[in-house]
A = this chain, B = another copy of it.
C-alpha cells in the first residue's frame, strides 16, 4: 500500500485529458499535476530545450515524493522520454507507446496515420514505436499546428476547425489509412470534428486511456498501488497563471480546479 502521489506532467493543459483517464481507472490514487504554462507550447521547440524542460518538470515532481511519473505530453514523450528514463530511477511512462500499441491492434490494412505537433511528428517517435511492434505497418505522419490554438480558442466544433481538419487530413485519407492516432493531448477535444473530416471508416485512437491502463499495470506489478478506499486528491501546479486557465482547464477536465499553485520551474 503506497499512498505517495503519481506525478503527471504536460507542457500546458492538454495533459488534463490524460489525468482524467488516470482518475477514471485509478480513482484512489493521489495525483500531482504540473503544467508548464509559462513555456507552452513545446511543439516547435528544439529537442535539447524540450529535454531541459522535461528534466526540470521531473525534478519538481520529485520534490513532491511521487512514486511514478506520467509524461502526459506527446512532444515531451517523443523528444525526452528515453533520456528521462536513463537519468531517473522511478517509473516514467510516456503517452507514445500506449498509443502505438493500440494502433497496431486496431489496423487491419496496416496503414496508420499519426497527427500531432511539429515536434512530435518530426521526432518520428510513433513510427519507431509502431515499427518495433510490427515492421510491416506503414505509418504516415502529419503535423497539425493550428489544432491546439483552435481548441484553446473554443472553436473545436466550428466550421473553421472542420476546414482546418480537411486541409490537414484529406491527404491522409487519400493514402488509405484505416486508423488515426490523435497524437496530441488537445486533439480528443476535436474528436468529433476530426471524425467527420476523415469519415467513419477510419478509427480514431486516443492514447490517454491506454496510458492510464499502462500505469495501472505498472503500479500493480511493482506493488505500489494505493489500496485505500478513499478517493484520491489532486494538486495542480503551473509555471504561469493566466486568464484562460480556468476556461480551458474546465473544458478539458469537466470539473472545477481547486488546489492550484504557481511555481518557478526554471529553479528546478
Contact = CB atoms under 8 A, between A and B. Distances in A.
Nearest to A40: B44
Nearest to A167: B160
B145 A44 contact: no
Interface in A118-164: 118, 122, 145-146, 148-150, 152-153, 155, 158-160, 163-164
A242 interface: yes
Contacts of A150: 146
A63 interface: no
Given A39-B39, A160-B160, A160-B163, A45 B145 contact: no
B38 A49 contact: yes
Contact of A145 (B149, B160, B163, B164): B149
A222 interface: no
A244 interface: yes
A98 B149 CA distance: 29
Interface string A44-72: 11100100000000000000000000000
A241 interface: yes
Interface residues of A, number: 28
Interface in A15-57: 38-39, 44-46, 49
A92 to B, nearest CB: 23
A89 interface: no
A243 B164 contact: no
A251 interface: no
Given A39-B39, A160-B167, 4 more contacts: A44-B244, A146-B150, A146-B160, A163-B163
Interface of A: 38-39, 44-46, 49, 118, 122, 145-146, 148-150, 152-153, 155, 158-160, 163-164, 167, 240-244, 266
29 contacts: A38-B39, A38-B45, A38-B49, A39-B39, A44-B242, A44-B244, A45-B240, A45-B242, A46-B240, A46-B241, A46-B242, A49-B240, A118-B242, A118-B243, A122-B243, A145-B149, A145-B152, A145-B153, A146-B146, A146-B150, A146-B153, A146-B155, A146-B160, A148-B149, A149-B149, A158-B167, A160-B167, A163-B163, A266-B266
